[in-house]
Structure 1
Amino acid sequence: MQTNSKFTNSLTNPTGVTLLILLTCGLGAIALSFLNIKQINPFLSSFIITGALGYIVVPQLQRIKASQIIQEDGPATHLKKAGTPTMGGIFFIPTAIIIGLIFTNFSSNAIAVALVTFAYAFIGWVDDWQILRKKTNLGLTAKQKLALQILFAVLFCVWMASSQPPEITSVILPFNIILPLGFFFWFLATFVIVAESNATNLTDGVDGLAGGTSAIAFLGIGILVSNTHPDLLIFSLAISGACLGFVLHNRNKASVFMGDTGSLALGASLSAIGILSQNLWALFIISLLFFLESISVIAQVTYYKATKDENGKGKRLLKMAPIHHHLELSGWTETQIVGIFYLINTILILITIYSY
């Protein structure tokens, strides 16, 4: 009975190592179900190189005291994470970009997505570095960050408008339904890139959450575009593998956080792949968890402002936003949250793949 109790507990409240093993096995099973061994080489290469690099880079981040500034108004359990190095995106994002470019033979699509990914990683790095330098949670201002995000999104759209066929402004829906958007497409594309990058940024709040869900999402979008855009498949797999390699060091209890350097880049890259492959609707389904994280913050702020009394104090819709913090304060452990999010995201990508 004791053995059964331990087994049950490992499923209901898994360890970080257990989740890493389940994530690795799940990604491998899905990849081999839809792709051949040769196709998954970018994934394996990124995973191995990123995992190995972590053992070199993380100690260096610790040595220079690149420690995460823990918000005092966050969950109390996170205070014990003070001193954990951040800016982990500096080793897994470049790895993914380089592997993706090499395996695609530097195709124009891969170069464009790589530049978007790097540009948003740069925004995140500047933000992270300012936070570390000032030793506060104040990096770039919200307006500065948003302006840079919009600028790079617009530049990507300008490249698409000048290099892609006119059909790019159409969105492919399930059952091969084509929705032409015309000029409105460019406004939507810009919004999606900015929104997606901020959504993955908000998701990065629990050990292994953003890295693991991104690994699943990139695998899903990669499989979806494998027949029409093999170069984007390769780039997606490179990032998916790099995310998994990062989770090796970011699983609970994390030895490094990705910081904005990683989280902003992941959302921008995922959206760029979805837009370029005309899979905006599929991108939405694959990104539903990231969308939920964003909506939870928007709903919390809106409700608080709408319920302000004469003293300027409003009511809270959630115990804390984003929603993963609400679940934490409701009694869920970090690994329970991450495990459930992994499962939901896996279901979402399978639904998407089988719908197209």
Structure 2
Amino acid sequence: MAALLSLVLLVGALASDVLVANSALTIPLLVSALVSAGVLAWGVPRLRQLKLGQVIREEGPQAHLSKAGTPTMGGLLVVPVGVLVGAWISPGDPRLLATAAITAAYMAIGAVDDWRSLTRRTNTGLTPRGKLALQALAAVAFLAWAAWGGWLGGGAPGDVGLPLGWVLPLGLLIWPLGLFVFLAESNATNLTDGLDGLAAGCGAVVFSGMALQLMLRGNAGDPALAGFCAAMAGCWLGFLTQNRHPARVFMGDTGSLAMGAALSAVALLSNSLWPLLLMGGVFLAESLSVILQVWVFKATKGPDGQGRRLFRMAPLHHHFELGGLPEQGVVLAFWGISLGLVLLGLVLLPT
């Protein structure tokens, strides 16, 4: 099924290159996928030798305890491939440098978090407040860079394009919105990384969708950022060669935070917040499931300290898994939903 997903995304890139002027998605997708697969084939045994094995939380599904010891921090092997191939598409475009920088910054934050988890032999690394502070600091630096370059918003600074020709003129409010997007999206992709191949497959689909919508929105498209998205999609397809079930490596926060940061940066620089919201619906649902679970539990907590649970377990993928659906079945269903949301997003393109 991972091979079939790769074929579907490759066909989409080829169709864009044939039918859309200035489109060049196939080469970065293929190059990034092949290089990532090769780097992983070399690097995963090294991660195992370094004993960088994932610590599985005891309160999670019991079937996941067998995953303990699987090498993590795999994002460190593939994210740089996607970033370098993507930047190679148009090396003179300063937006790509900014996008590469914020992606690398979030990868570094995730790496510190993963490393602290591994050295402490727990499933927690940085404190939640400390991690959010680092993410916010990097996001504000990116927003300042983008504002200085005049890259934020659509026709006017701070504009957010919506379907049917609507435009949301936010002005300076694009700053708090941009900060929220970085924090929400990076943590949503992080929450999605809980089953073999789930985050990598959904990430590849969403990056491909973002690339396609960037080439279909008229005005000769945006080949630079579209090519970057294609390269990032390719690196996650390459990651699936080792991350599909049964996973031989996990991406860790190193990969999942970088994935969310790259998506956020592209969306903010290309006035694509609406497509990201729709195409990344699986990420949104995973994040909302955790928020709702915590809220309902706290709102209904009795004197015994126990409250009601809206889901069997959050994030959402665990709810379906504990309901009897096999892990691979959940992953395939979420891949399919992501593909459907991408198609819907291509129909409802903003102006």
Corresponding residue to 1:163 among 123, 138, 149: 149
Following TM superposition, by how much is the alpha carbon of 1:38 offset from its aligned partner in structure 2, in angstroms? 4.6
Partner of 1:346: 339
The superposition leaves residues 186-242 of structure 1 with CA deviations (integer Å, 9 ceiling, x where unpaired) of 110110111000000000000000000000000101111124321101110110000
* Residue type of the alignment partner of 2:181: V
Show the 5 A alignment for 1:3-22. Answer: 19-22=1-4
**In the alignment, structure 1 residue 244 sits paired with structure 2 residue 233:** no
Q: Please tell me whether the aligned partners of residues 219 and 236 of structure 1 are also in contact (alpha carbons under 8 angstroms).
A: yes
Corresponding residue to 1:53 among 39, 44, 64: 39
Superposed CA RMSD in Å reads: 1.2
Counterpart secondary structure, 2:171? coil
TM superposition score normalised by structure 2 = 0.94
* Residue type of the alignment partner of 2:5: L
The superposition leaves residues 123-146 of structure 1 with CA deviations (integer Å, 9 ceiling, x where unpaired) of 000000011111111200000000
Corresponding residue to 1:185 among 158, 174, 186: 174
* Residue type of the alignment partner of 1:185: I
Q: Please tell me whether the aligned partners of residues 308 and 314 of structure 1 are also in contact (alpha carbons under 8 angstroms).
A: yes
Question: Once structures 1 and 2 are overlaid, which stretch shifts more, 251-260 or 275-284?
Answer: 275-284
Question: Residues 340 and 302 (structure 1 numbering): CA distance in 2 closer, same or farther, change over 3 Å?
Answer: same
Structure 2 unaligned spans of 5+: none
Following TM superposition, by how much is the alpha carbon of 1:329 offset from its aligned partner in structure 2, in angstroms? 0.3
Question: Once structures 1 and 2 are overlaid, which stretch shifts more, 343-352 or 174-183?
Answer: 174-183
**In the alignment, structure 1 residue 128 sits paired with structure 2 residue 111:** no
**In the alignment, structure 1 residue 270 sits paired with structure 2 residue 255:** no
TM superposition score normalised by structure 1 = 0.93
Q: Distance in 2 between matches of 1:63 and 1:208?
A: 23
Q: Please tell me whether the aligned partners of residues 168 and 278 of structure 1 are also in contact (alpha carbons under 8 angstroms).
A: no
Partner of 1:219: 208
Aligned length: 338
Question: Once structures 1 and 2 are overlaid, which stretch shifts more, 101-110 or 29-38?
Answer: 29-38
Corresponding residue to 1:286 among 275, 279, 286: 279
Identity of aligned residues (%): 44
The superposition leaves residues 38-90 of structure 1 with CA deviations (integer Å, 9 ceiling, x where unpaired) of 53101100000000111110000000100000111000000011110000001
Q: Please tell me whether the aligned partners of residues 35 and 223 of structure 1 are also in contact (alpha carbons under 8 angstroms).
A: no
Q: Distance in 1 between matches of 2:92 and 2:58?
A: 45
Partner of 1:322: 315
Question: Once structures 1 and 2 are overlaid, which stretch shifts more, 325-334 or 100-109?
Answer: 100-109
Show the 5 A alignment for 1:38-77. Answer: 38-77=24-63
Question: Residues 291 and 39 (structure 1 numbering): CA distance in 2 closer, same or farther, change over 3 Å?
Answer: closer
Partner of 1:82: 68
Q: Please tell me whether the aligned partners of residues 279 and 342 of structure 2 are also in contact (alpha carbons under 8 angstroms).
A: yes
Question: Once structures 1 and 2 are overlaid, which stretch shifts more, 278-287 or 257-266?
Answer: 278-287
Partner of 2:253: 260
Partner of 2:183: 194
Following TM superposition, by how much is the alpha carbon of 1:176 offset from its aligned partner in structure 2, in angstroms? 2.9
Partner of 1:34: 16
**In the alignment, structure 1 residue 24 sits paired with structure 2 residue 6:** yes
Corresponding residue to 1:299 among 269, 292, 295: 292
